[in-house]
Chain A
């Protein structure tokens, strides 16, 4: 199989988190400038009838625009898209978002695996995945797909995470992922990834 070159410019960042994820996102996202060049898609597990609290919380803290993802909208830089409660968030090959009300995956809807797998399909080596704190194994398969497609993978150190199960499962599935604490992930997201675009 032909491998694409090791350095591929990142085109899409996908982030998955569960238990404790909101605090972790509040560390990672607020430092990013409003013209951050890579679109960011986020799945956080939450109750089926979520009410936009997460969006308003992040919006109030972030320079980036934070919005709930809408079906068939174009994916643009400068925006953080949140998976709506009770829907899967997927990436279409034409770089649009789509939503799905299919069965939960890993007991989760939205499922991190589905977002990550479709991001890998749509973007190949230019997808970048982050798995943060969480109490189940959702996201491990998806992150492995991103790795297999040649994309970059980052995992919060289980010892640094509020819940270690999700990052531990991701590291098992994807041993080449960079394991960093939240401060390290923050630096990678804010400084390292944009540099590769220059």
Chain B
């Protein structure tokens, strides 16, 4: 038996999400509830709103706060070369396949502030694939996309990034790819010269290109099962025959309605190949 308080809160949350959809055309109704609710509570606190209904009213009155709310609605925790064994597997098991194509397209879906994009660009440069690759870096949060385009990260995070890079089998030193300035690491802008940054929603937009590799890590865990199926369906449709899909370390396709369309290569690394 559930307490009325929790149920009321859930109803209020869905009213808030409906208002966000109607007013700002962002659809969060298919997100995992537990995590989203917690982040919205933090937002309600931040905007002195108390309840979700007060937050909704404020949002309807003050469009200026919506971009700040997006910081709560989306999760932007990331690292460069996060899960080094994944990047090692990508280098050793996927890139040899990709090298057989004369030109390549890679989609970083939900790129947030760009850590994954720069990791991928460095990997492709070291493997001699960069110049024939176009990267599409997409996210729904324009603020995050701006950060991704800037490629500037606090220098405090670089020790972890460097360790990950080494563990991932990096061929040089990560410091070859950035310059330190005023407490920040500014990444080499030539790393993004092959990149198209774009606003794209896995909830409401459709496929925009045919790609050879989709990288979407630690994004699907914030979606419910139905929305996960939609997103994976987009990836399936975007991928070339025998193209690759890379998910987060704890994201798999075995509960997905699309699982028969993919085979897992590199057991446990959550790298899938679209069946031919």
Contact = CB atoms under 8 A, between A and B. Distances in A.
B155 interface: no
A124 B6 contact: yes
A72 B3 contact: no
A4 B255 contact: no
Counting contact residues on chain B (CB < 8 A from A), the size range is 20 to 34
Interface in A89-103: 90-94, 96, 98-103
A114 B36 CA distance: 12
Q: Which of B6, B10, B228, B250 is the most central at the interface, judged by chain A CB atoms within 10 Å of its CB?
A: B250
Q: Which of A94, A102, A123, A149 is the most central at the interface, judged by chain B CB atoms within 10 Å of its CB?
A: A102
A114 B4 contact: no
A134 interface: no
Contacts of A103: 77
Given A70-B252, A124-B1, 11 more contacts: A1-B5, A2-B4, A71-B251, A88-B35, A90-B35, A93-B10, A103-B77, A118-B38, A121-B10, A122-B6, A122-B34
A166 interface: no
Contacts of B77: 101-103
B229 to A, nearest CB: 10
Contacts of B75: 100-102
A107 B85 CA distance: 24
Nearest to A109: B77
B267 interface: no
B2 A124 contact: yes
Interface in B209-255: 218, 220-222, 224-225, 228, 248-252, 255
B184 interface: no
Contact of A72 (B1, B37, B225): B225
B69 to A, nearest CB: 16
Contact of B1 (A4, A73, A99): A4
A120 B5 CA distance: 11
B3 A98 contact: no
B32 interface: yes
Contact of A121 (B37, B224, B225, B249): B37
A87 interface: yes
Given A99-B250, A102-B75, A70 B10 contact: no
Contacts of A73: 255
A139 interface: no
A46 B225 CA distance: 28
Contacts of A70: 250, 252, 255
Contacts of A1: 3-5
Interface string A50-82: 000000000000000000001111000000000
Contact of A100 (B2, B9, B222, B252): B222
Contacts of A72: 32, 224-225, 228, 255
Interface string B67-91: 0000000010100000000000000
Interface in B107-135: none
Contacts of B186: none
Contacts of A126: 1-2
A4 B32 contact: no
